[in-house]
Structure 1
Amino acid sequence: MRAVEIGLGLQSDKRPGDYARLARRAEDHGFDVISVFGDLMYQPPIFPLLEMAAATERVRLGPACLNPYSMAPYEIAGQLAALDLASGGRAYLGLARGTWLGEVGVAQPRPLTALAEAAEVVRRLLAGDDAGFEGEVFRLAPGTRLRYAVRRPRPPLLIGAWGPRGAALAGRIADEIKVGGSANPAMVPVVRDRVRAGTGPAGRDPDAVGLVFGAVTVVDADGAAARARARAEVAMYLAVVADLDPVARVPADLVARVKELVAAGRDDEAGALIPGDVLDLFAFSGTPEQVAAQAQTLIDAGVSRVEFGTPHGLTDDRGVELLGGTVLPMLRRTAAG
């Protein structure tokens, strides 16, 4: 049985120096993994990841996620190799099809094929395999290889996916699957079954693929204020994730109204419409005790990593302090008991 990891997911919207400070604090508290989101129009993840690599010694680091539509697989391989070198072999790669790329005119045809072939190109380049690759979307001409030494030929691969086909792909080729935007323990067995659809034909042990669940997190001693902030944050992506969760059954009229208000820039009003039980499916929020209890339900359901996503608290620093200094010890005590 793999040990359960606790991670932080950071939005890449901070100033130079902020990432190093937060990463050192997270490592000192005992977090296992720090991820940087690859969301549209934010800073490229490689910048904060390299800063954090220089400031830490133990935590695993990776982008969650890059996509093969806005970044070519050879460039993904190069960035992963750079992070692995800079971190002393602590990098992982997150790949997903990406969201909202239509807003910048980037089409996303054949997403599963693109993801699978991108992962294969990265693997071959890092392994020094220069025999060539002729895929349906991507190719490597024979003799194509990286012109520098890499730290590891196969850093761990995470696939970001919710649906059956994406989860099956993760089952075939990945070390982890991340269900981003979910804090719903009822989704854990659903995702595990979907992963098995890929591990079976590939002859892999289903338990070899870790399940990562992560979502917006807002923790504060003022639980009501934390949940109000979380509601506004969840409102911005509820329309995307509600349809992906087959067990949540969020009312369609609620989703439509929230989407309408968000489009009008009225995020707080949109968030105020989200009932507490719906909020708890898509965010960790409230007092440290409430957040720890939510995370524990996911651990009990069988996840291998819980990832507390941005904004963490009413401020970045306070959120990381409460998560690391109060929530994490609660989870560790439960695991030890």
Structure 2
Amino acid sequence: MNRYSRILESLRWLLIALPLASTVPHLAGWEWPLAGVVLLTSLPMLWLPTHPDWLLGTSLVLLGISGSLLWLSHPTGLMPVIVFTTLFYAVRFGSLRTAIPVIVVVVGAFVAGWFRFDVSLRSGLLDMALVAVVVLLGLNRRSRTARLEQTQLALARAQTAAEEHARAATLAERARIARELHDVLAHSLSGLALNLQGARLMLRRDGASAEAVAQVERAQQLAVEGLSEARKAVAALREDPVPLERAIRDLLDGYRLDTSAEAELIVHGEPRAVEATTTATVLRAVQEALSNTRKHAPGSSVQVTLVFEDDEVTVTVLDHQGRKPAAAPLTGYGLRGMRERAELLGGQLSTGPEEDGWRVHLAIPA
């Protein structure tokens, strides 16, 4: 029901208020409380349908009784308008428990009026015909509203089905593209990275120039980076974010291929999905730690420990250099950026030397 329909429905309340106002000058002392009941019980018509549901039914029954009594006291005025309006609304909006009592009350009022005012048979039949017409109008409007609601519901279901069908087709196409990327591009890049690693080792064995080795290393690094990006693209196409532990394994695979050194991931706790900002911060910390290991301790093995706790996620990166490195101040932009990123999320970053290597520890609330 649109706004204008609601306004029209509210204006129909005037069919109760105006006849009642026209009768006010003729009311006797005992009729004033009855008029008050009519006015009070007609107010729910301003907010059809009303909530709770029982309110409308109760008010319409009381309105039918009080309006019929006032009509029997003032048969020559506009009080029949109140009676017929109540009957119409009871049939249109009320349940059977509401409509049947109101119909009985109205018919009873007309029968009582016949005996009280000595109404002719013709007038009595005309009154019953009017009651039947009002009931039929209410039923017709009720069925029309029900049909409109069913039509709107059917259109909504059809639109939802069409949207779901389109979404399913889109997801199927994206899944097909993701499979192609994974089966062709990712596998090819993985094989390329392994072949380049073998070529680099052969060049070093045969005493090739440093420039040739550097070019192969650069090509291998590009292949590893391309493999990581391909996996991210596959995950995005499948609308499936890469789990944190899987993303760290990808970084360690790249480090292993790049340096030929051992790289191990240890996971404690039950792996779970974490917020994107937390995932990005942890990955940047691991990436920066591996970059520093490449720079300051090339060829060192690396151990990454990822711990999922109830209220936080921690990651520890430890490179094994075989000696205790000298303590260094936190002057690098990478380490400083890692610490600032962790503090923005309420976490903590600590770095320092261990007995046989350098340790980076990050803890973030999750």
Global fold match (TM > 0.5): no
Higher strand share: 1
The TM-score normalised by the length of structure 1 is 0.20
* Higher relative contact order (CA closer than 8 Å, sequence separation 6+): 1
Higher helix share: 2
Larger Rg belongs to: 2
